[in-house]
């Protein structure tokens, strides 16, 4: 028996749980283990002292009363989450405990004292406060966003909702799942069924629907929820939110209307501009043609009678007329390329480039140009447009050459898979005057010139036409180069087109 008492006392002395025993109505401390003495900030001399004399706490009278109540009634008392300021390393810190007072009885059942144990719950207190604060902040955020929350018990089909949910759906009757579903627009109820069916696979409920209001008007809402499963993996609860998106939908409708109006206006303006360019181009061709003809007549008839200065003026008139005709023809081509569709046909690029070499034979011979063309594949496209594309690129390379160096043009190709589409990448590389990289995109703009008309002839439309033709064929074109070190044009085109016309 004596050994058992020693063993029990040894356990109490070494347990980390603060423990104390109070005797008689005076609450004399008969035992306090080191953990309790540390809590009180006392040493062993506290044994034999009265509880009321050693406790420095504004609630000590209340605690004493509770202990005495346990002695008198024999009913244990528990005080939960009680704050106690403890001196730790010279600093008073708030620590939270659960107090437990249990009566001690002798062999006759008479209460002779009370044992107190304390369990520190500071971390639990802080965690609880964090949860409460988080819940409060979440609730405030949801309310501020005009959202409503809901919770559906999948087993019982019972639903719990927030005040905002009820307000959003304008429900005044008893809240049931059926009552909520009845508010959905008949045309949108299938959306709800599909969303919940899909949720059984992916765990997420998400859809937009209209709800019917008292005045038979409609309001758009967005429903988002998540299925919670039990320990067996079966759906047990659906937690979610409902958001009023009426203003968003109205904004989308208005935005769509404005885009359609702007698109229509832009299309009308573009058509007017193209029509104007077309008409002007046609109307200007005849007077320019006559200027050329009659200036040639005049030159042939009296050239030998004119002084050199007058002959120079006639030559300038002829030169300007030729340039204007070139500009008009380019403008006409640029304005009409989008007007008509072209049939898609098989194009043998090797044959096409040979035809272009024939067309440019005199210029190639005049400049002593060398054209190296590697074997090219067959593609699909509009032959007349692809012909124009490579004609412009080759002519462009032959135009911007160095005065002291014969032009050298290399055309190569490679088959590539671009965005899962089998395509050809064609490189047209020259050794001409080159290209400043900062103008690599600018040169594709209509009427854009990097050099004066006196240096190099042209209408500033050739590369813009190339870009249009490439766009029609769902391809890309880009320019690379360095000043005085040649230029390279890289064209990518699908080997096959998706439609029969372009």
Looking at residue 458, its pLDDT comes to: 47
Question: What is the rounded average pLDDT of the residues 346-367?
Answer: 89
% the chain with pLDDT above 90 = 16
Looking at residue 338, its pLDDT comes to: 63
What pLDDT band is residue 24 in, cutting at 50, 70 and 90? confident
Residue whose tokens read 């690379």: 480
Q: What tens digit of pLDDT does each residue of 482-495 get?
A: 888 899 999 999 99
Question: What is the rounded average pLDDT of the residues 226-232?
Answer: 86
What is the Cα–Cα distance from 161 to 148, expressed in whole angstroms? 7
Q: Rg of the Cα trace of the chain?
A: 46
Contact between residue 148 and residue 159 where contact means Cβ atoms under 8 Å apart? no
Q: What tens digit of pLDDT does each residue of 345-356 get?
A: 999 999 999 988
What is the Cα–Cα distance from 476 to 427, expressed in whole angstroms? 12
Averaged confidence pLDDT in the chain: 82
Which tops the pLDDT comparison, 93 or 492?
Answer: 492
Which tops the pLDDT comparison, 245 or 86?
Answer: 245
How far does Cα 277 stand from its chain's mean position? 41
Can you give the length of the chain in residues? 502
Question: What is the rounded average pLDDT of the residues 35-50?
Answer: 84
Looking at residue 43, its pLDDT comes to: 85
Question: What is the rounded average pLDDT of the residues 139-165?
Answer: 77
Q: What tens digit of pLDDT does each residue of 154-209 get?
A: 888 888 888 778 777 777 767 788 888 888 888 888 888 888 888 888 888 899 98
Which tops the pLDDT comparison, 288 or 273?
Answer: 288
What pLDDT band is residue 476 in, cutting at 50, 70 and 90? very high
Residue whose tokens read 């059926």: 178
Cβ burial of 250 (10 Å; 0-12, 13-18, 19+) is exposed
% the chain with pLDDT above 70 = 84
Looking at residue 452, its pLDDT comes to: 44
What is the Cα–Cα distance from 220 to 247, expressed in whole angstroms? 8
Question: What is the rounded average pLDDT of the residues 434-442?
Answer: 85
Q: What tens digit of pLDDT does each residue of 374-395 get?
A: 999 999 998 888 988 998 899 8
Which tops the pLDDT comparison, 210 or 288?
Answer: 210
What pLDDT band is residue 66 in, cutting at 50, 70 and 90? confident
Exposure class string for 85-104: b at 16+ Cβ within 10 A, else e:
ebeeeeeeeebbbbbbbebb
Looking at residue 282, its pLDDT comes to: 64
What pLDDT band is residue 122 in, cutting at 50, 70 and 90? confident
363 membership: H or E segment, kind and range: helix 361-367
Looking at residue 64, its pLDDT comes to: 80
DSSP 131-165: HHHHHHHHHHHHHHTTEEEEEEETTT--EEE-HHH
What pLDDT band is residue 454 in, cutting at 50, 70 and 90? very low
Which tops the pLDDT comparison, 420 or 175?
Answer: 420
pTM for the full predicted model: 0.43
Angle ∠(320,321,322) on CA atoms, nearest 5: 90
């Amino acid at each position: 028996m004596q050994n058992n008492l020693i063993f029990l006392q040894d356990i109490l002395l070494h347990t980390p749980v603060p423990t104390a025993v109070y005797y008689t109505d005076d609450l004399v401390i008969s035992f306090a283990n080191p953990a309790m003495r540390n809590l009180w900030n006392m040493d062993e001399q506290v044994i034999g002292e009265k509880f009321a004399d050693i406790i420095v706490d504004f609630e000590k009278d209340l605690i004493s009363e509770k202990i005495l109540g346990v002695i008198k009634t024999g009913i244990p008392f528990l005080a939960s989450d009680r704050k106690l300021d403890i001196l730790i390393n010279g600093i008073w810190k708030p620590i939270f405990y659960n107090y437990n007072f249990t009566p001690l009885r002798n062999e006759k059942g008479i209460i002779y004292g009370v044992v107190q144990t304390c369990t520190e719950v500071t971390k639990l207190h802080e965690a609880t406060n964090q949860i409460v604060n988080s819940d409060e902040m979440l609730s405030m955020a949801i309310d501020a966003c005009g959202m409503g929350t809901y919770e559906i018990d999948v087993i019982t089909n019972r639903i719990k909702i927030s005040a905002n949910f009820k307000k959003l759906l304008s429900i005044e009757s008893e809240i049931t799942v059926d009552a909520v579903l009845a508010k959905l627009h008949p045309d949108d109820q299938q959306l709800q069924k599909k969303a919940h069916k899909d949720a059984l696979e992916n765990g997420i409920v998400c859809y937009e629907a209209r709800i019917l209001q008292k005045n038979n008007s409609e309001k758009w809402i967005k429903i988002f929820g998540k299925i919670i499963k039990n320990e067996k993996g079966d759906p047990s609860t659906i937690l979610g939110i409902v958001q009023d998106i009426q203003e968003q939908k109205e904004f989308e409708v208005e935005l769509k209307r404005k885009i359609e109006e702007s698109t229509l206006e832009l299309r009308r303006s573009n058509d007017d501009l193209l029509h104007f360019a077309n008409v002007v181009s046609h109307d200007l061709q005849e007077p320019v043609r006559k200027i050329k003809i009659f200036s040639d007549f005049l030159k042939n008839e009296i050239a030998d009678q004119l002084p050199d200065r007058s002959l120079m003026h006639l030559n300038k008139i002829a030169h300007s007329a030729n340039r204007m005709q070139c500009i008009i023809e380019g403008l006409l081509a640029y304005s009409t390329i989008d007007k008509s569709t072209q049939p898609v046909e098989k194009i043998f690029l090797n044959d096409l480039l040979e035809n272009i070499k024939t067309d440019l034979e005199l210029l190639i011979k005049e400049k002593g140009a060398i054209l190296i063309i590697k074997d090219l594949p067959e593609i699909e496209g509009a032959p007349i447009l692809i012909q124009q594309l490579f004609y412009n690129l080759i002519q462009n390379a032959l135009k911007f050459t160095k005065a002291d160096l014969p032009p050298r043009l290399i055309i190569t190709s490679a088959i590539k898979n671009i965005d899962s589409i089998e395509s050809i990448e064609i490189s047209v590389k020259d050794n001409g005057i080159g290209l400043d990289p900062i103008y690599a995109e600018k040169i594709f703009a209509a009427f854009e010139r990097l050099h004066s008309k006196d240096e190099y002839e042209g209408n500033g439309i050739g590369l813009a036409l190339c870009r249009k033709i490439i766009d029609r064929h769902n391809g890309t074109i880009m320019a690379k180069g360095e000043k005085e070190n040649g230029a390279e044009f890289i064209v990518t085109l699908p080997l096959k087109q998706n439609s029969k016309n372009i």
